[in-house]
Structure 1
Amino acid sequence: MVQRLLQPGEIEALDHTAIPRLLLPAPTTLFQARAARLRQLAAGDVPGIPVEDALRGYLTLMACVADAQHAIVAKLGGTGVPLPPHEALKTAHDHNMPPLPATGARPAVWLGVFASLLDALGNAKDAPPQLSMALHSLRTTPAAELEGIADAILGDFADGADPLRAPFVAAALQVTWSLMASQLDKAWAQPLVTGTLCPVCGSHPVASVVRIGGQSQGYRYLHCATCESEWHMVRVKCSCCEGNGKIAYQGLVGRDADPVEENKAAAKDGKTLSKANDPTKVARAETCDDCHTYRKIFNQEHDFHVEPMADDLASMLLDVLVSEAGYARASGNPLLWLKDPA
C-alpha cells in the first residue's frame, strides 16, 4: 500500500493534541531575543552557563550582529525573501526532500541581505573597536569569494570558511533562510529519511532544546543552524547517529550555580528538589558512546530565556571539557569558526 503524502492545508485536519513535529521560525522576534540573550551571557548573568572573560567581547560582537539581523528583518518585512516557485516546492515534497534546500542555488537576494547587514553593523553602538576594520575588509570582499564562503558554510566544510568573515556571511544566510521558512506551509516539509537533518532546509542542527509551553511542553527539539526551524526528536535518541543505547549527559556547573533557595530548603527536609530553576541543568552535553559524538542540549524548564544559538556559543567551556573526554562535536555553530590548529 502506498501512503499518500499530505498536501498543504490538509494538516489542519489532523489531531491538534499531537506533539508539534515542526516549529517554524519567527524572525521578527527571534534575532531580537538572541541579541538580548547574548548580552545577558556576556554580562555573566546566566548561572547555568559560566562564561570565560576572553569570550565576553565576542558574545557582545555577536549581539551586535543579531541586532543587525533584526534590523534587516524589520526593513524587509515578512515576505522580503520570496519562497521558491510552487513547482519546486511540490517536487521537493513529492520526493521527501527539504523544500528550502541549503545546498544548491541560493536566492540572489542574499548578497543584498549581506550588504544591509554590514550597513546596520556600521551603526552598532556597543561594538568592539575592531569591528570597523573588519567591516572594511568585508565590504571589499568580491562577490565570488562571498559565494565560496557561503558554499562552505551551507555545506558544512570548515576548510572553505574564513574564520574572520564566515560568521557575518552565516548571519546573512540565517536571515535569508529564516524569512523563507517563516512563510512556509508546514505540510511542505515532510520528515526526511534521517531525523538528524532539518526537514525544512536539510542543514545540521546547532544544538537541541527542551521547550516549555503549550503542546511543546517538555519535548526536545533540534534547532537548525541555517533556517532556525526546530523539529522534534525524542530525548533518548542520539541526534547524530540516532542510536539510543549509550546516551549520557555531561553537565557544567559554575561557581555560583546552585539550586534556588527553596530547593536547598527542600533538600534539608528530605524532600525531592523541584524540577525548575536548577542551573546545573540549563546546559548539558548529550554524549553517545556508539558514535562518540556529542551535541549540547539546553533546557527551557530551568531557564526560560534559553536560546540555542547564543547558549551554544557561550558554553565553549563545555565543548573543551567534553572534547577532552574523547567525544567529537557533531556539528558546529555558524557564528564561530575556529582555525584548525594543524
Structure 2
Amino acid sequence: MAVLVTGGAGYIGSHMVWALLDAGEDVVVLDRLSTGFAWAVSPDARLVAGDIADTELVRSLIDKHEIDAIIHFAGSIIVPESVSDPLGYYENNTSKTRTLLQTAVEGGVKHFIFSSTAAVYGAAGLEPVTEDTPLLPESPYGRSKLMSEWMLRDAAAAHDLTYTALRYFNVAGADPKGRIGQSTPGATHLIKVASEAVLGKRDHLKVFGTDYPTPDGTCVRDYIHVSDLADAHLLALRRLRSGGGNLIANCGYNHGYSVLEVVDAVKRVSGVDFPVEFVERRPGDPAAIVANADRARAELGWTPQLDNLEEIVTHALAWEEALTRKNASA
C-alpha cells in the first residue's frame, strides 16, 4: 500500500513527500518536472517523470505499487498568468485532473486528496471566510480549481472513492529542518520574492496596488507555513483511511497580513532594507482573503505549530541562503 503524490517535485508537493516519509509511508512521486526539481524529492521516495494525463503510466503505477491514495498537487498556480492563458490553465488544472480521476477510479484507488485554493472565494473581504462562503472566483486559476472540486464531488458520489479538498490560503516558509523550500526561478510568492531581494537576487520588490479597501491599501492574505499545510494533508489521509467521509476544508491561520506588513517583517528579520517599488494592481488579485479554518481543526484534529510570521520568514530566508549556496556549487 503506497501513496501517489502528483507534483511531488514542486514546492508544496516536495514538503508533503518528506512529511509522508517521516510518518513511515511508502511514497511514489509523479511529476513531469516542468517546474519541479528531481533533487527536491527525497531519495527514499520513488520518482517517476511523467504526466498525470498519461493514463497508461498512472494505471501502471497504481497497479505496481498498490496505490490506495492519491495526493494531487500537480497544476499551474499563477493568478495573472491564468488571466493571460486561461485555456492553458483549464487544460492543466481541470482537464488533466479529470483524466487523473478517471484513471484513479478505474484503478480502484480509494482515497483522493486535492490541492485546492482560497481563490475559489474571490474577493471575500477582511472577515475570515468559511467553507460556506459563496464561491465567486475572480480568475481562471480559481475557476479551474473549483471545477476540479465539482468533478471530485461528482466522482465520489458515483464511485467507491472518498476525498478531501483542502483550500489553501497563502503558503510560505520552508522545511524547518532545512531539507527543502521554495526553489522555483521567477516565483511570485511574496515572501520568496522578498527573500530574494534581501540576498540581492532582485534589485527591488514590487508592490502591486496601494488603493485596495484595506487598512494600508495593500492586499491582505493569510500566510500559512508549508509544513503546517503538509501536516493537514497527512491528517486528512489518516482520516480517510479510518473511514472518514468526504470533506472540504480551509487551511489557514484565521488572520491575515498586508503586503506592507510582510515586507516590513522580512526587513526586520533580515536586517536588510531593500528597495520597494509601488506599481499598478495585477489582474485577478482580490483585496483580501483570510481563512476560517475551524473545520480543519475540528474534523482533522489539525493544530498548526508554526503560526508566526517571523518564524515563517526566518525559515524562508534560511532556505534562500541554502539555495544560493547550492546553486553556487552546482
TM-score after normalising by structure 2:
0.27
TM-score after normalising by structure 1:
0.26
Question: Which protein has the bigger strand share?
Answer: 2
Question: Higher Cα Rg: structure 1 or 2?
Answer: 1
Higher relative contact order (CA 8 A, sep 6+): 1
